[in-house]
């Protein structure tokens, strides 16, 4: 069977099991066959049986890798003897000589070594229990809008967070009683963390005290759905305890994401007095405004035409409220418009929220709606030899006779290749190699295509191009046509294609665009003009106040080079 297929090992193992079906005196793991006997005659009989099965199924053995009639041998990482199996000496030495772990990766490596040989360590489970049996507790809470739970572990005299689980309530769940909301939150949290809590003792901490007697109540008082949830919870060994609200801060915060902190309604009430937008809204017959008293006694105008009381927000407080709400979860545009418009009111509220949500920098850098995909470009064929050449530098290679790099030249017409090894990578050496090994032998080209290496962008190499009268074009290696629809690119984000750290955004930016061609765009990054492939660009949606240049900006959209010479 072909190598590389994911089902190849299991298929081959089934074949081996079928070939040696009925022979219980030896195990076989893939292509490793082991059998043992107590006498030499019995060993010879076993060999005849094994060889007959191999001949029947047309299987050949490798005599160079086979061992027969041995008193002890190594098999699947263990030493097999007449007394049984034991660990290999080198594995034991690796455990004994293992240094004190300093990071989590080293600790996991050491535990893997221990677990591989745990059958030979007395009381291995008890010794390692300290790493697994920390006291765990599930803190839960529910509000009128969402569930929230935090799985914590008691370690070093304090609670350490392991995982978080928020869940928004559906319209049906919002109609549940308070007790059933709390019970549903416990049920969903245990279901979410079942892979961690199963077969472990843990405690459920809730601020709703009646849940402590939930398992003692009569079945007639609960609905079938509630009984099903209680039965699921009881399948795991749980201990439900009551805690105060001050001790359940994290779960309470997750369940109350609808509340907006740091909104000073007293200042909003003062700003409403001279607001012209409020007078305009009050004149609309579809809205019904009424004054409500705040905690300090100031009157706040609110709209009561809907099921919720919506305070009017003056101009100076609108962006502040949007940022406070949007920073909680960063949802989509439609969800954010619906959430804010149902709680506050001002003129053109939906238009403002839409623009602000689209222009939020953190969302644009972290959310990938659709990568830019460019069409493959077409190139005009070259009709003269040595007129258009591609040059590049490859390396770093292992040192050979003091040389670590290679200078490559390829003619587009004849595909003639020149490779020149050299030692040090500097602009002077690269320019000298190109002049001595190509121009002096094959003549001056019409066009030289390079990448964006600093050696080719140096003033020395540009001056050689002026003296020898050839063009230097920066080929960004991705021959595609820019297809960012109808927007005028003033700022863009650039996709980071390397290995990202945890929680690192996939895009960097935003960066201003200087020139836009069919294949690439010139972008200013840290004061330098960098040519970037169109496939790595994402248009940045910015407000006019965030753009440092006049808008709309006239950008060079000349055809991409080197399509034409």
As given in the structure block, the two tokens for residue 516 are: 């836009």
**Exposure of 209 in the CB half-sphere (CA atoms within 13 A):** 3
User: Given a cut of 90, is residue 564 above it in pLDDT?
Assistant: no
Nearest alpha carbon to residue 482 among 533, 548, 421: 533
Question: Phi/psi class of residue 386: alpha, beta or left (left: φ > 0; alpha: ψ in -120 to 50)?
Answer: left
DSSP state of 531: E
Residue range 293-310: mean pLDDT, rounded: 88
User: Given a cut of 90, is residue 312 above it in pLDDT?
Assistant: yes
Binning the chain into helix, strand and coil, the percentages to the nearest 5 are 35, 25, 40
CA distance 301 to 289: 6
- pLDDT value for 4: 67
* Domains parsed from the chain with CATH numbers: 7-69 (no CATH), 135-256 (3.30.420.10), 265-366 (1.10.340.70), 388-474 (3.30.420.10), 491-539 (2.30.30)
Residue range 542-565: mean pLDDT, rounded: 47
User: Given a cut of 70, is residue 209 above it in pLDDT?
Assistant: yes
User: Given a cut of 50, is residue 384 above it in pLDDT?
Assistant: yes
Residue range 470-496: mean pLDDT, rounded: 57
Could you report the per-residue pLDDT of 431-443, keeping only the tens digit for each? 899 888 888 888 8
- pLDDT value for 554: 38
User: Given a cut of 50, is residue 481 above it in pLDDT?
Assistant: no
DSSP state of 513: E
Of residues 311 and 161, more confidence is placed in 311
In DSSP terms, 316 is beta-bridged to: none
* 204 contacts 240 by C-beta, under 8 angstroms: yes
Contacts for 185 with CB less than 8 Å, ≥ 6 apart: 140, 141, 142, 147, 148, 149, 167, 255
Could you report the per-residue pLDDT of 526-538, keeping only the tens digit for each? 888 888 888 888 8
CA 194 distance to own-chain centroid: 23
What does the mean pLDDT of the chain come to? 79
- pLDDT value for 344: 92
Quick one: pLDDT band at residue 370, thresholds 50, 70, 90? low
- pLDDT value for 260: 46
Could you report the per-residue pLDDT of 104-140, keeping only the tens digit for each? 677 778 777 777 777 777 777 666 665 555 667 888 8
- pLDDT value for 374: 65
- pLDDT value for 349: 92
CA distance 45 to 66: 18
Residue range 407-423: mean pLDDT, rounded: 90
- pLDDT value for 345: 92
Could you report the per-residue pLDDT of 343-365, keeping only the tens digit for each? 899 999 999 999 888 888 888 88
3-state secondary structure string, 451-511?
Answer: CCCCCCCCHHHHHHHHHHCCEEEECCCCCEECCCCCCCCCEEEEECCCCCCCCCCCEEEEE
Of residues 20 and 337, more confidence is placed in 337
**Exposure of 87 in the CB half-sphere (CA atoms within 13 A):** 17
Could you report the per-residue pLDDT of 234-265, keeping only the tens digit for each? 877 667 888 887 777 766 666 665 544 567 88
Of the candidate ranges 24-28, 352-356, 465-469, the one whose mean pLDDT is the lowest: 24-28
- pLDDT value for 540: 84
Q: Where are the beta strands (DSSP E) in 304-358?
A: 310-311
Of residues 73 and 104, more confidence is placed in 73
Q: Are strands 471-474 and 491-495 parallel, antiparallel or unpaired?
A: unpaired
Quickly list DSSP for 109-169.
HHHHHHHHTGGGSTTHHHHHHHHH---EEEEEEE-SSEEEEEEEEEETTEEEEEEEEEEEP
Letter string b/e over residues 540-552, b meaning 16 or more CB atoms within 10 A of that residue's CB? bbbeeeebeeeee
Question: Phi/psi class of residue 497: alpha, beta or left (left: φ > 0; alpha: ψ in -120 to 50)?
Answer: alpha
Quick one: pLDDT band at residue 489, thresholds 50, 70, 90? low
Of residues 8 and 314, more confidence is placed in 314
User: Given a cut of 80, is residue 283 above it in pLDDT?
Assistant: yes
């Amino acid at each position: 069977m072909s190598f590389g297929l994911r089902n190849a090992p299991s298929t081959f193992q089934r074949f081996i099991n079928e070939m040696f079906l009925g022979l219980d005196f030896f195990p076989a793991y893939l292509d490793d066959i082991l059998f043992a006997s107590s006498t030499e005659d019995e060993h010879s009989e076993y060999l005849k049986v094994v060889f007959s099965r191999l001949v029947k199924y047309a299987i050949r053995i490798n005599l160079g890798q086979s061992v027969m009639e041995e008193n002890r041998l190594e098999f699947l990482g263990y030493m097999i003897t007449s007394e049984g199996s034991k660990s290999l000496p080198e594995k034991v030495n690796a455990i004994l000589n293992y240094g004190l772990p300093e990071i989590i990766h080293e600790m996991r490596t050491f535990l893997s070594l221990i677990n591989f040989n745990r059958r030979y360590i007395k009381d291995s489970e008890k010794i390692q229990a300290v790493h697994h049996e920390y006291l765990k507790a599930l803190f839960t809470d529910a509000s009128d809008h969402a569930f929230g739970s935090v799985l914590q572990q008691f370690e070093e005299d304090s609670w350490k967070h392991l995982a978080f689980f928020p869940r928004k309530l559906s319209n049906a769940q919002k109609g549940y009683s308070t007790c059933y909301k709390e019970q549903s939150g416990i049920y969903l949290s245990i279901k979410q963390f079942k892979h961690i809590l199963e077969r472990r003792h843990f405690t459920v901490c809730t601020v709703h005290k009646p849940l402590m007697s939930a398992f003692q109540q009569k079945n007639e008082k609960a609905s079938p759905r509630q009984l099903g949830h209680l039965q699921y919870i009881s399948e795991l060994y749980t201990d439900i305890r009551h805690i105060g609200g001050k001790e359940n801060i994290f779960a309470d915060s997750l369940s109350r994401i609808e509340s907006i902190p740091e909104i000073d309604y007293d200042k909003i009430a003062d700003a409403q007095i001279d607001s012209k937008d409020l007078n305009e809204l009050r004149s609309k017959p579809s809205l019904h405004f009424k004054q409500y008293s705040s905690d300090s006694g100031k009157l706040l105008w609110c709209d009561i035409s809907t099921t919720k009381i919506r305070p009017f927000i003056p101009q100076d407080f609108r962006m502040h409220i949007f940022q406070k709400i949007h920073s909680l979860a960063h949802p989509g545009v439609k969800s954010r418009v619906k959430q804010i418009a149902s709680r506050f009111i001002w003129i053109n509220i939906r238009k403002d929220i839409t623009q602000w949500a689209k222009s939020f920098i953190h969302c644009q850098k972290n959310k990938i709606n659709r990568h830019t995909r460019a069409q493959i470009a077409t190139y005009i064929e070259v009709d003269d030899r040595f007129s258009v050449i591609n040059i590049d530098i490859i390396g770093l290679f292992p040192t050979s006779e003091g040389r670590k790099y290679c200078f490559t030249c390829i003619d587009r017409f004849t595909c003639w290749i020149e490779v020149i090894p050299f030692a040090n990578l500097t602009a002077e050496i690269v320019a000298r190699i190109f002049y001595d090994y190509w121009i002096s032998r094959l003549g001056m080209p019409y066009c030289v295509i390079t990448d964006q290496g600093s050696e080719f962008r140096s003033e020395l190499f540009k001056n050689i191009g002026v003296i020898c009268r050839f063009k230097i074009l920066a080929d960004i290696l991705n021959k595609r046509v820019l297809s960012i629809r109808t927007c005028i690119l003033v700022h863009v984000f650039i996709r980071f294609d390397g290995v990202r750290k945890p929680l690192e955004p996939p895009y960097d930016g935003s960066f201003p665009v200087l020139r836009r061609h069919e294949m690439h765009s010139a972008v200013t990054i840290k004061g330098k003009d960098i040519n970037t492939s169109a496939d790595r660009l994402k248009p940045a949606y910015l407000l006019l106040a965030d753009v440092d240049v006049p808008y709309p900006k006239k950008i060079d959209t000349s055809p991409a080079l080197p399509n034409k010479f």
